[in-house]
Amino acid sequence: MTTSYANILKPLHLGFTTIKNRVVMGSMHTGLEDRFYNYPKLAAYFGERAKGGVGLIITGGISPNRQGWLLPAGGTMNHLGDIAPHRLVTHAVHKHGAKILMQILHAGRYGYQPFVVSASPIKSPISPFKPRQMSEKNILQTIDDYAHTASLAQKAGYDGVEIMGSEGYLLNQFLSRHVNQRDDRWGGEIENRMRFAVEIVKAIRQKVGEKFIICFRLSMLDLVHDGNTMDEVIIVAKALEKAGITLLNTGIGWHEARIPTIVTSVPRAAFVDYTAEVKKHVSVPVIASNRINMPETAEKILAEGKADMVQMARPLLADAFWVNKTATNRVDEINTCIACNQACLDHTFKNKRATCLVNPRAAYETELVYIKTKKVKKIAVVGGGVAGMSAATVAAERGHQVTLFEAANEVGGQFNLAKVVPGKEEFHETIRYFKVQIEKTGVELRLNTKVNREQLEREGFDEVIVATGVIPRALKIQGSDAPQVLSYAEVLKGAAVGQKVAVIGAGGIGFDVSEYLLKPEHQAQPQDLNEWKREWGVDPVVNYMSEGGLERPQVDAPIREIYLMQRKTTPLGIGLGKTSGWVHRAQLKKHAVKMMRGVQYKAVTDEGLWVEMDGHDQLLRVDTIVVCAGQESVKDLMPKESDKTLANYHIIGGAKLAAELDAKRAIREGAELAAKL
């Protein structure tokens, strides 16, 4: 079969071995790699992705010693006894013709444990533990530990190792003046700062021989003050090549950087040009990374020669069969990663197993299984939001006869609102994916159809899944029925909004609506890359001389005056995702949105909104009030316990629980229920 993605599918010959295509599943900590008893699950997780066609997989980070732990008792490989569980993983991947590297990660001062060490004793802003400065002896021992770990990985059947040298972990801490303030042979000029990384590569190469992949993940753009310049990055890349690496991978931004690098508002392939600049100076194959999630983007990078391979971690959590779908021209069937971080990185930071919002099977391959049904049932799903679509498509995939009822003229529910928020354009992809799945799995879709219980009973369904979602909670104060009071749903559907706006409620939607109102309406396009760099202060020059690639951010004057408020006295937005909440807070702050907490809402008048703060009444002279005060469940279809019904009724998603309504729970609930029926 011919495909438009010839570059993605081209094998990469490394001399001693060949990778079957150009797609790398990048390292992503799932939490399964930290405990040996979870390795059967880890093997199933990687095995499914290998079966799905990926060429090369890189595991989550494994430490070479105790000092390098990211978390207490994190995954370590430094004894022969550590090998056995890893063999399950390498076997599961090799069975499908893919290659796999074990990532060796020493967290340095990012370790969330008391034994942390670094180049210099400077505490990181993201760990409470101050590191001890590594002595010469400690450095030399650590080099040996890396080499020993790599040789154990080789014995475990890995095709190679990746050395994590970016994102602000130990080797990055040595590479940059941001942390390395030593004046011995491991500090000072770049030739000294890179010595540790270079010696590690040499020691590993000597130990494992020539026929073993050594990939180095290098920070191409530190995005922290006193970070490296592009000239320094190139010096390091060339030295690593000389020391014996096989592949050079891209890292962008330290974890402590205050510039987003992977969230959904970062334009696709935002950092590829920095990788392309480094590629000009080395001859080993180079891997591009960050916000590459669809084949068009990946193919373009490869076709333009900007990189030799493309790395995706989250997109392969979202869809294990990404490569096979690309190879067989079924791109419209790809379940696209929307870069929300909600179920992957946010879980990792809470010490929970990583999975995926749009694919609840990720890392649960042995637990959430969709088995073909032996008894075909007639199933009604009421509500075409993500909960309903998830339930309907999984049930139909299993062989049931499914009808999906949707009162509106399109499916998507709350995602139809989210997709118009600036920086959330990826939500279109989820709706597209489900629409295609509805068609492929044979779900009968009845749009513009508001069903009632009598009709459902009359049609003889065996099971009814109520996924009727939510309605926005109304504000109930004096004057709140005035025309200038709008719900968030009305605003996101295009209602006219004035120049001075009060946003009531500062949950995820209050933040989203504020961001929406900061841009001219109906600008439902991803942000222009140069404009994005300018707003966040990223040096657009690929051969940047600025330290860490940082520039002064330049933000246009806001087009509206916005007050965002809540009744609680806690800081606004603390309930937002750990890895994305700070981006939303920074965005609103940059655009001068006034954040108010401890607010009591009193009345709406022609003059504006009366509120009470610190015991004083205050008038906010606003012309529009947008209510983002949460939601209420719509569940009138659910029978009472005393009602006699022919069908079994189930309730999922926002209809079941509007508090903490979220898409992650909705999609998982739909899939879990459908897997059992």
Residues that bind ligand NAP (CB under 6 A): 473, 475, 504-510, 512, 566-568, 576-577, 628-631, 660-662
How far apart are CB 477 and ligand NAP at their closest, in Å? Answer: 9
Among 357, 389, 502, 663, binds ligand SF4 (CB under 6 A): 357
How far apart are CB 255 and ligand SF4 at their closest, in Å? Answer: 16
How far apart are CB 626 and ligand NAP at their closest, in Å? Answer: 11
Q: Can residue 637 be called a binding residue for ligand SF4 (CB under 6 A)? A: no
508: partner contacted, choices ligand SF4, ligand NAP, none (Cβ within 5-8 A by kind): ligand NAP
Q: Which CB, 77 or 262, lies closer to ligand SF4?
A: 262
How far apart are CB 266 and ligand NAP at their closest, in Å? Answer: 14
User: In the annotation, is 433 catalytic?
Assistant: no
Tokens (6 digits) for 406? 């949707």
How far apart are CB 66 and ligand NAP at their closest, in Å? Answer: 35
356: partner contacted, choices ligand NAP, ligand SF4, none (Cβ within 5-8 A by kind): ligand SF4
Burial class (CB in 10 A: 0-12, 13-18, 19+), 14: middle
Size of the site for ligand SF4 (CB under 6 A): 14
Neighbouring CB atoms inside 10 A of 244's CB total: 19
Q: Which CB, 52 or 577, lies closer to ligand NAP?
A: 577
Provide the pairing of β-strand 500-504 with 561-565: parallel
Among 230, 233, 356, 504, binds ligand SF4 (CB under 6 A): 356
Tokens (6 digits) for 144? 């040996």
Burial class (CB in 10 A: 0-12, 13-18, 19+), 33: buried
The strands making up 378-382's β-sheet, listed across from edge to edge, are 444-446, 401-405, 378-382, 463-466, 648-651
For residues 304 to 323, the per-residue mask of contacts with ligand SF4, x marking binding by CB under 6 A and - elsewhere, is: ----------x--xx-----
628: partner contacted, choices ligand SF4, ligand NAP, none (Cβ within 5-8 A by kind): ligand NAP
Among 48, 648, 670, 45, CA closest to 394: 670
506: partner contacted, choices ligand SF4, ligand NAP, none (Cβ within 5-8 A by kind): ligand NAP
How far apart are CB 496 and ligand NAP at their closest, in Å? Answer: 22
Residues numbered 30 to 59 that lie near ligand SF4 (CB under 6 A) are none
568: partner contacted, choices ligand NAP, ligand SF4, none (Cβ within 5-8 A by kind): ligand NAP
Q: Which CB, 8 or 317, lies closer to ligand SF4?
A: 317
337: partner contacted, choices ligand NAP, ligand SF4, none (Cβ within 5-8 A by kind): ligand SF4
Q: Which CB, 36 or 349, lies closer to ligand NAP?
A: 349
> In sequence order, which ranges of 294-422 are alpha helices (DSSP H)?
295-303, 314-318, 322-327, 345-349, 386-397, 414-418
Give Cβ neighbours of residue 418 (< 8 Å, ≥ 6 apart). Answer: 424, 427, 512
Among 263, 269, 333, 328, CA closest to 296: 269
How far apart are CB 631 and ligand NAP at their closest, in Å? Answer: 6
Written as one string, the DSSP assignment of 506-565 is -SHHHHHHHHHHHS-TT--SPPPHHHHHHHHTB---TT--SGGGB-----PPPSSEEEEE
Q: Which CB, 313 or 518, lies closer to ligand SF4?
A: 313
Neighbouring CB atoms inside 10 A of 77's CB total: 26
Torsion, Cα 612 613 616 617, to 10 degrees, reads: -30
How far apart are CB 429 and ligand SF4 at their closest, in Å? Answer: 9
Tell how many helices (H) and how many strands (E) occur in the chain: 23, 27
CA distance 425 to 294: 13
Window contacting ligand SF4 (CB under 6 A); options: 50-58, 95-103, 332-340, 506-514: 332-340
Residues numbered 333 to 352 that lie near ligand SF4 (CB under 6 A) are 337-344
Q: CB–CB of 480/474 below 8 Å? A: yes
Window contacting ligand SF4 (CB under 6 A); options: 7-15, 356-364, 405-413, 653-661: 356-364
Q: CB–CB of 366/40 below 8 Å? A: yes
Catalytic residue among 45, 146, 158, 169: 169
318: partner contacted, choices ligand NAP, ligand SF4, none (Cβ within 5-8 A by kind): ligand SF4
CA distance 623 to 499: 7
Written as one string, the DSSP assignment of 406-465 is -SSSSS-THHHHHTTSTT-TTHHHHHHHHHHHHHHHTPEEETT----HHHHHHTT-SEEE
Q: Which CB, 463 or 662, lies closer to ligand SF4?
A: 662
Q: Which CB, 182 or 567, lies closer to ligand NAP?
A: 567
Q: CB–CB of 650/463 below 8 Å? A: yes
Give Cα separations from 269 to 252, 299, 334 (angstroms).
11, 11, 18
Q: Which residue has the closest beta carbon to ligand NAP?
A: 507
29: partner contacted, choices ligand NAP, ligand SF4, none (Cβ within 5-8 A by kind): none
507: partner contacted, choices ligand NAP, ligand SF4, none (Cβ within 5-8 A by kind): ligand NAP
221: partner contacted, choices ligand SF4, ligand NAP, none (Cβ within 5-8 A by kind): none
Token pair 């009366």 is found at: 610
How far apart are CB 564 and ligand NAP at their closest, in Å? Answer: 9
Q: Which CB, 236 or 609, lies closer to ligand NAP?
A: 609
Residue 571 is classified by DSSP as P
How far apart are CB 10 and ligand NAP at their closest, in Å? Answer: 38
Q: Which CB, 59 or 342, lies closer to ligand SF4?
A: 342
Give Cα separations from 348 to 28, 317, 356, 486, 534 (angstroms).
9, 14, 12, 37, 31
CA distance 402 to 427: 25
CA distance 274 to 272: 5
Q: Which CB, 318 or 518, lies closer to ligand SF4?
A: 318
Q: Which regions of 597-647 does DSSP assign to beta strands (E)?
A: 600-605, 608-613, 616-620, 624-627, 631-633
Angle, nearest 10°, between helix axes 136-155 and 83-94?
50
How far apart are CB 341 and ligand SF4 at their closest, in Å? Answer: 5
Cα 395 versus chain centre, distance: 27
Q: Which CB, 339 or 604, lies closer to ligand SF4?
A: 339
505: partner contacted, choices ligand NAP, ligand SF4, none (Cβ within 5-8 A by kind): ligand NAP
Q: CB–CB of 393/677 below 8 Å? A: no
Tokens (6 digits) for 220? 């191409």
How far apart are CB 559 and ligand NAP at their closest, in Å? Answer: 21
504: partner contacted, choices ligand NAP, ligand SF4, none (Cβ within 5-8 A by kind): ligand NAP
Q: Which CB, 187 or 510, lies closer to ligand NAP?
A: 510
Residues that bind ligand SF4 (CB under 6 A): 314, 317-318, 337-344, 356-358
Name the residues annotated as catalytic.
169
